[in-house]
Amino acid sequence: MSLLASYLEHAITVFPSLLRGAVITIEVTTFAIFFGLILGTIAAFGKLSKRSVFKIPSTMYVDFIRGTPLFVQILLFYYGIPGLIFGLTGDPFMIDPIIAGIAVCSINSGAYNAEIVRAGIKSVDRGQMEAARSLGMAEGQAMREVIVPQAVRLIIPPLGNEFIALLKDSSLLAIISVHELSKNGMLYVSKTFATFPTYISVALVYLALTMGISRVLNYIERRLGVSDRSE
């Protein structure tokens, strides 16, 4: 009983710090979702483009990010790039860890989003584009009016999974001392050695956050489902 009581006490003590960490986690994730969507959409259309000026850089970006671990990308961005700038200019160069965290997560998420968006657009039946073009619509117009509205509904569910993965992966930013949820748990453990109650609390807060995202996404899916009358 005394073990349980001490665990509970630790859980209660660590909780405010975990909440502060959760706020940072949500902040980083929200910005990364936003910028990741923009990057992903640009890269998706780049990859779909017939022109190699757009296609090649987009493909290289997606391949590089998907082919390397997020952990290494964080190290490269936070330590590697300032190191390179120092080497080139001789001036010390630092990036704010949260800014770096948001940037890396956005870039990382963007690559995965690109594939999701691209697949969504590709999976709209070819006849839709033909019908739109045969009515005299220009390609961009057909995309806007006909293809994208249909693709969005196909894109939302996998995009939701991607957002949840992003929120969980943001825990890796602990390594560059972003004081997000995991980092705050680790700090508490280093002071108290209360490993189990701290980390189970950390895990449960993540679970609450991801379930929150799932709910929001389900709501959006249902809302979009209202006009989903495709065969």
Partner 1 sequence: MIEVNNLHKNFGSLKVLKGITEKVEDSEVVCVIGPSGSGKSTFLRCLNLLETPTSGDIWIDGEKVTDPKVNINKIREEVGMVFQRFNLFPHMTALKNVAIAPMKVRGLSEKEAYDRAHDLLKKVGLEDKANVYPSSLSGGQQQRVAIARALAMHPKVMLFDEPTSALDPEMVGEVLNVMKDLAKEGMTMVVVTHEMGFAREVGDRVLFMDDGIIVEKGTPHEIFYNAQNERTKSFLSKVL
Residues interacting with partner 1, by CB under 8 A? 125, 127-128, 130-138, 141, 145-146, 149-150, 227-231
Q: Which of residues 91 and 231 has its CB atom nearest to partner 1 in the complex?
A: 231
Minimum separation from the CB atom of position 167 to partner 1 (A): 30
Distance separating the N- and C-terminal Cα atoms of the chain: 59
Task: Tell me how far, at minimum, the Cβ of 139 lies from partner 1, in Å.
Answer: 9
Q: What is the DSSP string of the chain?
A: -HHHHHHHHHHHHHHHHHHHHHHHHHHHHHHHHHHHHHHHHHHHHHHH-SSHHHHHHHHHHHHHHHTS-HHHHHHIIIIIHHHHHHHHHSS-----HHHHHHHHHHHHHHHHHHHHHHHHHHTS-HHHHHHHHHTT--HHHHIIIIIHHHHHHHHHHHHHHHHHHHHHHGGGGGGGT--SHHHHHHHHHHHH--HHHHHHHHHHHHHHHHHHHHHHHHHHHHHHHTT----
Angle in degrees, 0-180, between the axes of helices 97-122 and 148-169, rounded to the nearest 10: 150
CB nearer to partner 1: pick between 59 and 150: 150
Q: Closest distance between partner 1 and the C-beta of residue 134, in Å?
A: 4
Q: By C-beta, is 63 or 145 nearer to partner 1?
A: 145
The distance of closest approach from Cβ of residue 157 to partner 1 in the complex, given in angstroms and rounded to an integer, is: 17
Q: Nearest distance from residue 217's CB to partner 1, in Å?
A: 20
Is the Cβ of residue 96 or residue 139 nearer to partner 1 in the bound state? 139
In whole angstroms, what is the distance from residue 8 CA to residue 2 CA? 10
Beta carbon of residue 123, minimum distance to partner 1 (angstroms, whole number): 13
Nearer to partner 1, 66 or 144 (CB): 144
Alpha-carbon gap, residue 18 to 16, rounded angstroms: 5
Nearer to partner 1, 80 or 225 (CB): 225
